[in-house]
Structure 1
């Protein structure tokens, strides 16, 4: 929704400080632990325990936001027509063209700015798809069928850059789904949107040393910062671009 992730997906660099857990201290501790893990290979008799161990070391974090603000449409430049111009909407959401590349009619690749999580810094690269839907067909959950047009956002592929092998999770999934649409109620129209972001991964042994009561608030803070930044972009840059769209439409010119 606006930098429906370029700050949610092209986010600003999130700095998170975790009490007395210093980056240097943790790295020294974790590197020592990693060497011990390599020095003591797992006996074959314990291999069936690997799946249970992975389940114990798995983590899932999520965040969700909604937006609901007035939308002032013009008869000759409806918001439905604006949403149909997906490249324009994308550029309003992700204005930094140096970090994005259009792959096809409805998919873009985005190089996110670095995100700091505890003592790690990662550079995510995501591929995002924007689709317009109408007529109540295959609408995202929570969108009423009577809505005339919905822009659906979905991250379909991702990659993490900048992690050393010892910090790379063996399994990782990123889920981002969003929707943006005009809700017309009599003479009033509201711009409504929703975005849900969640991450799931199996902790590498060195990261599993960090207590969950430390990891969870940090992870949730990072995700919350991303979705709140996107909400800010929806409420500002996207609406500003729609205002330009109305001025550029011939039927609205005086």
Structure 2
């Protein structure tokens, strides 16, 4: 039996800009990936491709598996960041790996108004899978509810990490940028002691 699951999540985060605005931070997608993913579960494959091992998933207390997603992450104009799944494989259940598809799309962009910046974003996750015979007699509606709930929890975890980790990482980065700019100005200014 083939079933598909869907979930969407939106995010809105108010940010007080540091000396270096957040749109400059967002032009470095790797920082965003590091902010939302466990560094032990993520590795950079190329400039804009990342392999992300999702946390192991327990579906209906019967199947335990771990999706590994290849994500493309890139910057757009005005600090927008986009992500899109390129491929996915499943560790743990070979049957599902051959009959599984995952599509993830997301965007995060800054909106500025009255000196304040708000990050707004949307992510959509869709999974399709041909279920094993053991689940054939489970009502499809029950499977879809369980699957949709599972996907919603995955996106909620990412959203929670984004709302906490991203802000902390931005502040750390902005502080380092300010220090570098101060050092650079100090090294370029003429010595006035003579």
Do the structures match in fold with TM over 0.5? Answer: yes
The answer (yes or no) to whether the contact 1:65–1:195 under 8 Å persists in 2 is yes
Aligned match of 2:119: 191
Paired residues, number:
181
- Where do 1:178-217 residues align within 5 Å? 178-217=106-145
Unaligned 5+ runs, structure 1: 1-56, 135-147
Q: CA deviation at 1:73?
A: 1.1
In 1, distance between residues paired with 2:131 and 2:91?
Answer: 16
Aligned match of 1:155: 85
List per-residue Cα deviations over 1:9-32 (Å, max 9, x = no partner): xxxxxxxxxxxxxxxxxxxxxxxx
Aligned match of 1:24: none
The answer (yes or no) to whether the contact 2:71–2:86 under 8 Å persists in 1 is yes
Bigger strand fraction: 2
Aligned match of 1:67: 11
Q: CA deviation at 1:169?
A: 6.5
- Where do 1:72-83 residues align within 5 Å? 72-74=16-18, 76-83=19-26
- Where do 1:173-252 residues align within 5 Å? 173-250=101-178
Q: Secondary structure at the match of 1:73?
A: coil
Task: Give the TM-score, by structure 2 length.
Answer: 0.85
Q: CA deviation at 1:224?
A: 1.1
Aligned in 2, Cα 1:92/1:193: closer, same or farther, shift over 3 Å?
same
Counterpart of 1:105 (choices 47, 50, 53) is 47
The answer (yes or no) to whether the contact 1:77–1:245 under 8 Å persists in 2 is no
Q: Secondary structure at the match of 1:84?
A: coil
In 2, distance between residues paired with 1:108 and 1:123?
Answer: 16
Q: Secondary structure at the match of 2:76?
A: strand
Unaligned 5+ runs, structure 2: 183-194
In 2, distance between residues paired with 1:164 and 1:133?
Answer: 37
Q: CA deviation at 1:172?
A: 2.1
Find out whether 1:124 has 2:70 as its counterpart.
no
Q: CA deviation at 1:170?
A: 5.2
Q: CA deviation at 1:90?
A: 1.7
